[in-house]
Amino acid sequence: MRVSQLPMRRRVWNLGARVLLYLSAGLTCGLLVLLIGTICARGIRGINWQMLTTAESVLRGTVGILPAIQNTLFVIVLSLLIVLPLGVGAAVYLTEYAKNHRLVSLIEFATETLAGIPSIIYALVGVIIFCTALGLQKTLVSGALTLVIMNLPTIIRSTQESLKTVPQSYREGALALGSGKWHMIRTVVLPSSIDGIVTGSILAIGRVVGESAVLMYTVGLSTAMQDFSSLAAMMKASGATLTVALYIYAKERADFTTAFAIATILLGLTVVINGAAALAGKKLKKV
């Protein structure tokens, strides 16, 4: 029925509803544009080569966030190295091995619970368990271990979703050719669910890059260069990541040029990570 043939009341209602829908979507996008505009307008002039490649120096009066970049990378690599095998293993167990229905729902409930816990609680957990009980102090290692717990649900979920889409016939084919179960998983199932594993990893990297509450209280607040030359040095390395550095510059030093420069970098990383996640989902989708 054409809208113009409707009674007045329905016509007004329809028009009103349409206007509201467009307004809301416009508001959502407008907010994003406003955010990006504000951040870039104030942040871009603070970014330069020296800032990206040196540590800050009080003597020369220069700002540098290289230590924060290194610390962020270290936390990403270490937490991924631990969470990937754990998360993929758990997903494999849930989709390939588990027969006990109760146990599966218990594990899935635990995963959902972990996903719902806010990061300030993880910060407390990191402080209580890793920094204090295990005696790791405020180090990048403590932070990375805390983030392992936080990212476990992300990896489990995306791997599991991808495992579920591997056709049953692949598995039957491999088994019929005489492959053992583990061999079948390793050579057939896991390679065909690589898209989920990669997407999960990218999402996990995104969460580490954007995380601040956990890192604020577990990795320390130093903005000086850390030593990653030996294992013993790595265990002791303790310093701010990008998000923590942003907080320190904004809230404790009132250096907003640097804070916005870091915000611009974080925003850029978010764009790249989102793009990569979308791309990985598309490109790696089943050969």
Partner 1 sequence: MQAVFFLCGLVAVGFVLLITVYLVLSGLPAIRQIGLFDFLLGSTWAAGQGQFGILPLILTSVWGTAGAVLLGVPVGFLTAVFLAKVAPRRLADVVRPAVSLLAGIPSVVYGLVGMIVLVPWLRDALHLPAGDSLLAAILVLAVMILPSIINLSETALAAVPKEYEEASLALGATDLETYFRVSVPAAKSGIAAAVVLGIGRAIGEAMAILMVAGNVANMPALTKSVRFLTTGIAIELNYSAEGSLQRQALFSIGLVLFLFIMLINVLLDLVLKHDKEV
Task: Give the nearer residue to partner 1 in terms of CB position, either 159 or 192.
Answer: 159
**Cα(75)–Cα(218) distance, rounded to whole angstroms?**
11
| Shortest distance in whole angstroms from residue 55 CB to partner 1 | 21
* 63, 56 contact by CB (below 8 A): yes
Fill in the DSSP letter of residue 177.
Answer: T
Task: Read off the tokens for 180.
Answer: 């053992």
| Shortest distance in whole angstroms from residue 137 CB to partner 1 | 11
| Shortest distance in whole angstroms from residue 157 CB to partner 1 | 11
| Shortest distance in whole angstroms from residue 238 CB to partner 1 | 13
Task: Give the nearer residue to partner 1 in terms of CB position, either 82 or 234.
Answer: 82
Task: Give the nearer residue to partner 1 in terms of CB position, either 32 or 81.
Answer: 32
**Cα(138)–Cα(237) distance, rounded to whole angstroms?**
9
* 142, 220 contact by CB (below 8 A): no
| Shortest distance in whole angstroms from residue 229 CB to partner 1 | 28
Length of the chain: 287
Closest CA to 62 of 72, 48, 73: 48
* 36, 267 contact by CB (below 8 A): yes
Centre a 10 Å sphere on the Cβ of residue 266 and count the other Cβ atoms it contains. Answer: 19
Task: Give the nearer residue to partner 1 in terms of CB position, either 61 or 116.
Answer: 116
Task: Give the nearer residue to partner 1 in terms of CB position, either 228 or 268.
Answer: 268
**Cα(13)–Cα(10) distance, rounded to whole angstroms?**
5
| Shortest distance in whole angstroms from residue 111 CB to partner 1 | 5
Task: Give the nearer residue to partner 1 in terms of CB position, either 53 or 182.
Answer: 182
